[in-house]
Amino acid sequence: MTLLTGARERRVRTGEVELCVAELGDPGRPTVVLVHGYPDSKEVWSEVAARLAGRFHVVAYDVRGHGRSTAPRPLRGGFTLEKLTDDFLAVADAVSPDRPVHLVGHDWGSVQGWEFTTVERTEGRVASFTSVSGPSLDHFGHWRDRRLKRPTPRRVAQLLGQGARSWYVYLLHTPVLPELAWRGPLGKRWPRVLERVEKVPRGDYPTSSLASDAAHGAWLYRDNVRPRLRDPRPDAYAHAPVQLVTPLGDRFLSER
C-alpha cells in the first residue's frame, strides 16, 4: 500500500539515517507534517492526508527505523527524542525552509511532537501542534510525581489505572522478546487483531514492513521512557499553539 496515489517521495538525510518523505498538495500552501505512532508507518495517515491535500501541502514521513526509512546502527541510543528532533528539523527544512509547519502527531508521533514543540531549538519552526493520544513524557512525569508526592484515593486510582493500561510498555522494555514476537507470531496475527479490535479492513493496513517497524520501534520506549520520567524537564512549555485531541475510547491512555 502507498501513502496515496500521486504522492511525491523524496529522501532526506539526517545524521546516519535516511528518511522516506511523502508529499501531497500544493507546496505553496501551508505545510502540515504528519508524524505516525507505534507500530505504524506513514501509510497510517492515508485517509487523513487525502482529506487535507486539497487545502494544504501535506507531508508524512517514516520515522527512523520504520517503513522505508533506514534504521540507526546500533539501535540502542538511536531513537532518543534528541535524534528524533534532528529528524523533524531535517524534514521541515527540506519541505518548508521558509515557513513554520503545522505539526500533527498520533501516539508516539504525538510524544515526539510535544518534544518538537517544547525544546528551544525548534522555536519558530512549528506554527501549531495537534496532539492525538500521546502525552509529553515530561508532562506525564510531573503528573505522576504530583500523585506520588500527595496521594489521595482518587490520585492513587488514577495512577493504578494508567499503570494497568500501560502493561505493554513494561513488556517492550524486556530484552529480545518483543523483537522475537513481532518478527514471529505477533507480526503475522497483527492484521487480524486490527480487523477485529479496530475494525480496520484486512489488506488496507499495515504495510509489509510491520514486523521490522515494530521491532525497531521498541527502542522508542527503551531510549526515552525511563530516563525522561525519572528526570522530567521543569521547563517543557509549548512555544506554539496546541490543539489536544483526546480519544475517549483509547485502550492504552486514559483521558487524565
Q: Whose grid coordinates read 479496530?
A: 198
In this prediction, residue 4 carries a pLDDT of 59
Indicate whether 21 pLDDT > 50. Answer: yes
Average pLDDT over residues 26-39: 97
State the amino acid at position 35 in one-letter form: V
Residue bearing the bigger pLDDT, 89 or 188: 89
Residue 50: which of 41, 40, 60 has the closest Cα?
Answer: 60
Q: What is the mean pLDDT of residues 195-202?
A: 81
Sequence-ordered alpha helix ranges (H) in 135-209: 137-149, 153-165, 167-172, 177-183, 185-197
Dig out the grid coordinates for 171 from the structure: 513488556
pLDDT at 2: 47
Could you confirm whether domain 8-245 is CATH 3.40.50.1820?
yes
**pLDDT(5) > 80:** no
Output the pLDDT for position 1: 44
Mean pLDDT of the chain: 93
For the chain, the helix, strand and coil percentages under 3-state DSSP, each to the nearest 5: 45, 15, 40
- pLDDT score at 204: 67
The model carries a pTM of 0.94
In angstroms, the Cα distances linking 149 to 152, 176, 199, 244 are 10, 34, 41, 27
pLDDT at 68 (0 to 100): 95
Q: Residue 22 above 90 pLDDT?
A: yes
DSSP element (H, E) containing 10: strand 8-14
Q: Choose among 149, 142, 132: nearest CA to 36.
A: 132
- Burial of 176: CB neighbours in 10 Å, binned 0-12, 13-18, 19+: exposed
Cell 514476537 sits at which residue? 181
Q: If you average pLDDT over residues 22-50, what whole number do you get? A: 96
Question: What average pLDDT does this structure show over 228-251?
Answer: 94
